[in-house]
């Protein structure tokens, strides 16, 4: 039975991506790497919080910060993972041109490469949240989780991040010396404007509209609400919006950015092909 | 008249060659890197984004204003740690990947001079970026500094840099033996070091032995001493007193540079023997 080109592209890219992400070392060191890195990032915020609040982990702000930071791991992993596949294949393995002439769909291939980063990101997210629940009194009760809202939100968010990654991948195709920075800079900027670790109200007034235009703001808010319910709704930023309203905004913005991403990738792909950038190596 | 005997051709040896090698290796980092304006932009903007994030976290927590200053200082110093990780430690690995490492080893100069050149160039280039981050952070967040001793501040900074880049030279030698895991090792050494070294908070907040262990990273004590010298309340939040930290940094400087020399010679011999100079294990 002949599988569709899209599914084949995605499946093989995901498998290839997983091999690249995981086979650089033995399983023990890989496990250490997967655990230490995200926990250290979370621990910085935990220590900062602990110093200022004198260890008051019962405040509503703590789960806000902790869960926001935990799920933000997906932003770096998925979004940067899709765009980084261009750098990896073009510069390091020098196989991008072969991917272009193979019977696969390049955008789907790149999304598949991001799938592996989704898996490694999920490991990091789960470990971070488990640590928070077990050792830091994050008030997450399994019986009170809105699983439907959580599942839908997570799925929409991952697709949204993957499409943003595709946009960055398109830009990366046409750049030579800054491609390593593009994904990281975007993730770092979204960290400020998404309300990941502080409410948007902390930002100066003139910067807040940027945050309200980012789909990640609503994504993180919904994830918090689905996991810790009333605690997340205690902050005024989006407290006037119901879950369904926020979900609607998230879907709308995700659709908008998804369409923009596809168009940008299409244009950048054409430019890269016209200028012979697909098989160009720059040693950067 | 041929090229060897012509007016501008002179064969340098000994300390002249050593010095010329340092300058030659430092040149691309000081001059060449500034030619790519976008890199300048990114290398200031990226740390500033991290600074802004942590500043807003402290603002959300209603932290005392000196903590904002700690974040700005920590953000500036992350530039040095990132430079040590990616432009020192990983550099020889990348040189191996691009085929330059064999040329370095074949050339009639000292690998130590090459590493010193990398260190000097990296230090100067990164200092410019750190100053930019400090200036922008100070202006954006109205940070106030009150330096109690410029002499001690200079001593702390210079010793921290020498020790840090000595550590970078040691790591460059070690990374020479790595394959693809080099990138992941460098990646792994970011957040844990930011945490253990107290880039964004006083290390006195950590358990004593954790802070003591983290003091092997020169920036730990360097930043702790600089906080005590630059912020009015710094003395309350210091891990050790400034004089003790200066002495420790001086010891680390000597030890790291000396060990780097021996480690480089040993690893180079090992790499040559095992054929890793031109190996690319992607």
The structural domains of chain B, with segments of one domain joined by +, span 14-273
Note whether B281 contacts A: Cβ–Cβ < 8 A.
no
Provide mean pLDDT across the span B92-117: 83
E strand or H helix at A96: helix A96-101
ipTM: 0.89
Q: What percent of chain B has pLDDT over 90?
A: 46
- Are A44 and B191 an interchain contact pair (Cβ–Cβ within 8 Å)? yes
Summarised one tens digit per residue, pLDDT across range B201-242 is 999 999 999 999 999 999 999 999 999 999 988 788 899 999
Domain residue ranges of chain A, discontinuous segments joined by +: 5-274
Summarised one tens digit per residue, pLDDT across range A49-93 is 999 999 888 888 899 999 999 999 999 899 988 988 998 888 888
Provide mean pLDDT across the span A179-199: 86
pLDDT for residue A165 is more than 90 = yes
Q: What is the pLDDT of residue B1?
A: 53
- Are A61 and B60 an interchain contact pair (Cβ–Cβ within 8 Å)? yes
Note whether B53 contacts A: Cβ–Cβ < 8 A.
yes
Q: What is the pLDDT of residue B282?
A: 47
Which residue of A23, A44, A60 is the best one to mutate when testing the B interface, meaning the one whose CB has the most B CBs within 10 A? A44
CB contacts of A283 in chain B (<8 Å) are: 98
Q: Write the DSSP assignment of A63-74 as a string of letters.
A: HHHHHHHHHHHH
- Are A52 and B67 an interchain contact pair (Cβ–Cβ within 8 Å)? yes
Summarised one tens digit per residue, pLDDT across range B34-75 is 777 777 777 888 889 999 999 999 999 999 999 999 999 999
CA distances from B250 to A72, A147, A231 (A): 40, 57, 50
Provide mean pLDDT across the span A156-176: 92
Q: Which of B36, B54, B180 sits opposite A24 (nearest CB)?
A: B180
Summarised one tens digit per residue, pLDDT across range A13-24 is 999 998 888 877
DSSP state letter for B248: H
CB A195 within 8 A of CB A237: yes
CA distances from A176 to A166, B16, B106, B202, B270 (A): 17, 37, 30, 39, 35
CB B186 within 8 A of CB B89: yes
CA A148 to chain B, closest CA, distance in angstroms equals 31
Q: What is the pLDDT of residue A283?
A: 62
Q: Write the DSSP assignment of B118-152 as a string of letters.
A: HHHHHHHHHHHHHHHHHHHHHHHHT-----S-HHH
Q: What is the pLDDT of residue A1?
A: 47
């Amino acid at each position: 039975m002949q599988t569709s080109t899209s599914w084949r592209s995605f499946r093989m890219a995901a498998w290839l991506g997983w091999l690249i992400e995981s086979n650089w070392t033995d399983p023990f060191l890989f496990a250490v790497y997967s655990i230490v890195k995200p926990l250290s990032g979370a621990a910085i915020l935990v220590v900062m919080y602990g110093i200022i609040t004198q260890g008051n982990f019962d405040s509503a702000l703590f789960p806000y910060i902790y869960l926001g930071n935990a799920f933000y791991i997906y932003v770096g992993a998925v979004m940067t993972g899709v765009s980084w596949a261009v750098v990896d294949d073009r510069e390091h393995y020098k196989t991008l041109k072969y991917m272009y002439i193979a019977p696969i769909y390049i955008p789907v291939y790149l999304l598949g490469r991001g799938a592996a980063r989704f898996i490694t990101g999920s490991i990091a997210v789960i470990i971070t949240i488990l640590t928070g629940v077990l050792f830091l009194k994050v008030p997450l009760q399994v019986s009170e989780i809105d699983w439907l809202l959580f599942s839908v939100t997570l799925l929409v968010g991952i697709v949204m991040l993957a499409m943003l990654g595709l946009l960055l991948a398109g830009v990366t195709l046409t750049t030579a010396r800054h491609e390593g920075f593009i994904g990281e800079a975007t993730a770092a900027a979204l960290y400020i404007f998404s309300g990941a670790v502080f409410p948007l109200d902390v930002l100066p007034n003139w910067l807040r509209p940027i945050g309200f235009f980012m789909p990640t703001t609503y994504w993180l808010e919904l994830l918090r609400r689905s996991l810790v319910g009333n605690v997340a709704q205690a902050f005024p930023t989006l407290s006037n919006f119901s879950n369904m309203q926020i979900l609607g905004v998230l879907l709308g913005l995700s659709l908008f950015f998804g369409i923009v991403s596809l168009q940008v990738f299409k244009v950048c792909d054409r430019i890269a092909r016209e200028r012979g950038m697909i098989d160009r190596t720059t040693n950067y | 008249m041929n090229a060897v005997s012509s007016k501008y051709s002179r064969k340098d040896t000994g300390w002249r060659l050593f010095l010329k090698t340092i300058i030659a290796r430092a040149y691309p980092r000081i001059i060449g890197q500034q030619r790519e304006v976008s890199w300048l932009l990114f290398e200031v903007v990226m740390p500033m984004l991290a600074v802004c994030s942590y500043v807003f976290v402290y603002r959300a927590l209603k932290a005392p204003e000196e903590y904002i200053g700690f974040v700005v200082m920590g953000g500036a110093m992350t530039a040095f740690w990132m430079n040590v990780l990616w432009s020192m430690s990983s550099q020889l690995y990348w040189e191996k990947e691009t085929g330059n490492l064999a040329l370095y080893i074949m050339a009639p100069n000292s690998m130590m001079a090459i590493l010193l050149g990398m260190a000097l160039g990296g230090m100067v280039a990164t200092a410019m970026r750190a100053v930019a981050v400090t200036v922008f952070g100070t202006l954006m967040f109205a940070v106030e500094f009150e330096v109690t001793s410029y002499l001690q501040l200079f001593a702390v900074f210079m010793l921290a840099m020498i020790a840090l880049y000595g550590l970078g030279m040691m790591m460059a030698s070690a990374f020479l033996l790595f394959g693809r895991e080099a990138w992941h090792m460098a990646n792994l050494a970011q957040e844990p070091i930011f945490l253990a070294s107290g880039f964004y908070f006083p290390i006195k907040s950590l358990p004593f032995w954790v802070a003591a262990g983290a003091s092997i990273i020169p920036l730990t004590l360097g930043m702790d001493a600089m906080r005590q010298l630059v912020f009015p309340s710094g003395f309350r939040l210091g891990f050790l007193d400034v004089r003790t930290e200066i002495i420790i940094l001086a010891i680390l400087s000597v030890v790291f540079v000396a060990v780097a020399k021996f480690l480089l010679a040993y690893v180079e011999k090992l790499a040559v023997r095992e054929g890793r100079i031109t190996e690319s294990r992607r």
